[in-house]
Amino acid sequence: MAQIIATSPLAQPMPELGSVRGVRLQAMAAGIRYKGRTDLVLAEFIPGTTVAGVFTQSKCPGAPVDWCRAILPGGQARALVVNAGNANVFTGRAGRETCESTARAAAELAGCTPEQVYLASTGVIGEILPAERITKALPELHEALSETGWADAARGIMTTDTFPKAAVRTAMLGGVEVVIQGMAKGSGMIAPDMATMLGFVATDAALPAPVLQALLSAGVKKTFNCITVDSDTSTSDMVLLFATGAAGNAPLPTTSPATSPENAIDSPELADFRAALNDVLHTLALMVIRDGEGATKLMTISVSGAVSDASAWRVGMAIGNSPLVKTAIAGEDANWGRIVMAVGKCGEPADRDTLSVSIGGVCIARNGTVTDGYDETPVVAHMKGQEIDIAVDLGLGNGSARVWSCDLTHGYIDINGSYRS
């Protein structure tokens, strides 16, 4: 069993969660790896629920990722099974068979086909996931399903997380108020390149799967794809978005541009829903960084003046991933030279003589040298806080991006050095 880790100093309290019409869920202790804590979650969705998903870009994905990718084109979901403690990664045929038996067992309980059951696993890589512990527990778990099981479920998907992560918003869609509620887990092995380790969001809105997919993919790009703890992309990353349709909002008119996935991210009809969904995704993503393994400080890195938005993103991630920048932040050292180093090493267009660097709103360097009259005092004070703001202007174009990271402390080594013990 992994060691008990103190709650992150950046932790945020669990918001007051309600229900999402058309969703029932619950968690229980199935003894998959942990003792004395919940580690298995089951959610059931009403018939007609549509689904969208984004998955890790790792070339060595887990069996559940392969399973979900294969069934996603069907666009329908009736159940979700998540286990913590064992990632079911690099487990060969046994891993695939566990997915198949789990999906069959959940499908029988939900009254659907296995291809409507989504699976996710998180935990140790390379150990066989005992399917019987899951399938044996599912009937009891199904009996306990509740519309108010969200908080228990958020705790049930945790591994090295020190606090559960959840968010809820409301929006107007088709003249009806709809709910968007989600949970996530993640603390280490976070450099998503698609999402975070695991994230599950549900809404009672009625939206077709292609539109849902367009909204999720666009939202993830500016949220989960802009966070990093340690530059390591998990084998198990996924974010799933379920829409039950139970709110009863009118279907999008067939003549509406919003019915086209290409137009969904800009359509006025979806503006309020899109903003609320993005807010949920953003809130969950920042909670992951706040729970970064060993983290004591949250870094917000804003990059402007790049040749493109994509280039600005890569510069920002290079800063956020730099061990030298991260340790300087941990040590409360305003060593802006390390930021310059990170900009210069990442392979993106940059010019020393147009570069500007600011920390805590104070411009430290401009046009290739230290700002005249620079006083480090307010920057030093800023470095002592829990939230650190870094801004870089490359002075080359109009590209911009914002990414989030955390400091690197000895706590990260302690947690990962004993992860399997």
Domains for the chain: give ranges and CATH numbers. Answer: 23-290 (3.60.70.12), 298-417 (3.10.20.340)
The neighbour count for residue 204, using CB atoms within 10 Å, is 26
Mark whether 196 is an active-site residue.
yes
Average pLDDT over every residue of 223-249: 93
228 is in an annotated binding site: no
| Token output for 212 | 């849902």
Number of H helices, E strands in the chain: 12, 15
Closest of 84, 301, 290 to residue 187, by C-alpha: 290
The answer to whether the pTM exceeds 0.75 is: yes
- Identify the residue whose tokens are 């009259």: 373
Closest of 71, 69, 23, 67 to residue 47, by C-alpha: 23
Separation between Cα atoms, residue 54 and residue 165, nearest integer Å: 19
Mean pLDDT lowest for which of 186-200, 293-307, 384-398? Answer: 186-200
- Identify the residue whose tokens are 């911009």: 400
332 is in an annotated binding site: no
* Residue 97 CA from chain centroid, whole number: 27
Asked if the model's pLDDT at residue 195 lies above 80, the reply is no
* pLDDT digits 0-9 by tens, 5-51: 689 999 999 999 999 999 999 999 999 988 889 999 999 999 999 99
End-to-end CA distance of the chain: 6
- Give the pLDDT band (50/70/90) at residue 414: confident
142: Cβ–Cβ under 8 A, 6 or more apart, which residues?
Answer: 42, 44, 109, 110
- Give the pLDDT band (50/70/90) at residue 293: confident
143 is in an annotated binding site: no
300: Cβ–Cβ under 8 A, 6 or more apart, which residues?
Answer: 387, 388, 389, 390, 402, 404
421 is in an annotated binding site: yes
* Catalytic-role residue among 98, 102, 122, 196: 196
Asked if the model's pLDDT at residue 1 lies above 60, the reply is no
Separation between Cα atoms, residue 406 and residue 354, nearest integer Å: 27
Asked if the model's pLDDT at residue 66 lies above 80, the reply is yes
Average pLDDT over every residue of 229-256: 87
Average pLDDT over every residue of 189-206: 84
214: Cβ–Cβ under 8 A, 6 or more apart, which residues?
Answer: 261, 262, 264, 265
Beta bridge pairs of residue 359: 362, 390
Closest of 84, 95, 82, 68 to residue 32, by C-alpha: 84
Phi-psi region for residue 33, left (φ > 0), alpha (ψ -120 to 50) or beta? alpha
185 is in an annotated binding site: yes
